[in-house]
């Protein structure tokens, strides 16, 4: 588990792992102990996110483990469910909204005293580009008691709520991130999902928002998926009370020649990264993970056309220019 090397650099005194079942967590605890050694105390706390009594009890146990003067520097709200049939929790809330949002909201709320005492505090909420499917429905989170429900809309609403929650934390001075880790192979999130529901994702999204969802991500490995979380949690360059949504978005770079070409090559070596290279007509660049878009920055129509092709980006590098031999006279 190479990602633990990055966690080790942060020198955590405690790692508190919350989950429903210790049997699933124990292999992870063993790997952490092997990598981080005795300097980091690893604790398991049981939690059931769709049961708010369980959530509050878990928060109390976390506080007990960390002691009277305990603090939390990083909180990662990671667990969730996806695409399940309509059901309600014992307090009468649709299950995806309750598990994916309310559980994390109440957990974070109950841990705020520990977070307020932390150093360079960060809260990382795993959202999803699934938020595009459905907005938050403040007047009808239960989809007319299931009559207007479909599994993708339920998931989309919960992921939108994650982003709104992240914004709320940031407004209150807590560095917070909502991120999309990508479509990850090898997790339990998709267990039991009827994959046929994704055939209608554009139709459902358009009904809810007026726009189609677009194409679904290419699958990532678990290591690639968790990398975004690790950056948000521990990378010093990501600090500050921000309201950020990390996506699996392309890196966009001008790459006709020189520095731009070398930068595109460097970015393309990052696992899971899709690089968009903007280039003048007549130039080409054949690299894995690199999409070439023609761009003439001196022409407004060309700039607008290129911008429309890049739907999303988390890094935009504008380095195009002309040299003396290219000046128009």
Q: What is the pLDDT of residue 47?
A: 96
- Cα separation, 273 vs 170, whole angstroms: 27
Question: One digit per residue, pLDDT tens: the chain, 329 residues?
Answer: 466 777 777 778 889 999 999 998 899 899 888 888 888 899 999 999 999 999 999 999 999 999 888 999 999 999 899 999 999 999 999 999 999 999 999 999 999 999 999 988 999 999 998 999 999 999 999 999 999 999 999 999 999 999 999 989 988 889 898 888 878 776 777 666 777 888 899 999 999 999 999 887 777 787 777 888 888 888 766 655 544 444 443 444 454 445 556 655 655 555 555 666 676 666 666 666 667 777 766 667 766 776 666 655 545 555 554 444 333 32
**Domain extents in the chain:** 47-246, 251-326
Residue 74 dihedral angles phi and psi, to the nearest 5°? -135, 130
Q: What is the pLDDT of residue 253?
A: 47
Residue 145 dihedral angles phi and psi, to the nearest 5°? 55, 40
- Cα separation, 85 vs 77, whole angstroms: 23
**Taking the CB of residue 80, how many other CB atoms lie within 10 A of it?**
20
- Cα separation, 36 vs 42, whole angstroms: 10
Return the H-helix or E-strand segment holding 76: strand 74-77
- CATH level 3 topology of 47-246: Rossmann fold (3.40.50)
Q: What is the pLDDT of residue 247?
A: 42
Its sign, for the CA torsion 290, 296, 302, 303, is: positive
The C-alpha angle with vertex 198 and arms to 314 and 290, in degrees rounded to 5, equals 35
Q: What's the CA dihedral at 188, 202, 275, 158 to 10 degrees?
A: -50
User: Which residues are known to be catalytic?
Assistant: 155
Q: Is 121 exposed, middle or buried (0-12, 13-18, 19+ CB in 10 A)?
A: buried
Assign 3-class secondary structure to 133-193. HCCCCCCCCCCCCCCCCCHHHHHHHHHHHHHHHHHHHHHCCCEEEEECCCEECCCCCCCCC
- Cα separation, 254 vs 270, whole angstroms: 18
Q: What is the pLDDT of residue 233?
A: 84
Residue 198 dihedral angles phi and psi, to the nearest 5°? -75, -15
Q: What is the pLDDT of residue 147?
A: 97
């Amino acid at each position: 588990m190479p990602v633990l090397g990055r966690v080790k650099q942060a020198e955590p005194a405690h790692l508190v792992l919350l989950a429903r079942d210790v049997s699933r967590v124990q292999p992870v605890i063993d790997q952490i102990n092997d990598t981080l050694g005795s300097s980091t105390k690893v604790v398991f706390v049981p939690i059931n996110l769709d049961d708010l009594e369980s959530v509050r009890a878990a928060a109390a146990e976390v506080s007990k483990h960390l002691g009277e003067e305990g603090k939390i520097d990083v909180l990662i709200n990671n667990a969730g469910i996806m695409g399940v049939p309509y059901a309600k929790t014992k307090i009468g809330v649709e299950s995806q909204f309750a598990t994916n949002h309310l559980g994390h909201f109440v957990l974070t709320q109950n841990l705020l005293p520990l977070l307020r005492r932390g150093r360079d505090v960060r809260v990382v909420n795993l959202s999803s580009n699934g938020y595009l499917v459905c907005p938050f429905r403040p007047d009808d989170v239960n989809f007319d008691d299931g009559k207007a429900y479909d599994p993708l809309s339920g998931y989309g609403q919960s992921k939108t709520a994650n982003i709104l929650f992240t914004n709320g934390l940031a407004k209150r001075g807590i560095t917070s991130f909502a991120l999309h880790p990508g479509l990850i192979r090898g997790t339990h999130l998709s267990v039991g999902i009827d994959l046929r529901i994704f055939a209608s994702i554009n139709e459902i999204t358009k009904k809810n928002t007026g726009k189609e969802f677009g194409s679904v991500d290419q699958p990532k490995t678990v290591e690639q998926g968790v990398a975004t979380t690790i950056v948000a949690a521990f990378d010093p360059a990501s600090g500050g009370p921000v309201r950020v949504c990390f996506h699996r978005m392309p890196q966009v770079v001008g790459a006709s020649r020189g520095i731009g070409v070398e930068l595109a090559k460097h970015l393309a070596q990052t696992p899971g990264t899709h690089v968009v290279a903007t280039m003048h007509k007549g130039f080409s660049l054949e690299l894995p993970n690199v999409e070439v878009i023609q761009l003439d920055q001196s022409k407004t129509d060309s700039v607008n056309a290129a911008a429309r092709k890049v739907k999303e980006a988390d890094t935009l590098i504008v380095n195009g220019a002309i040299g003396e031999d290219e000046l128009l006279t």
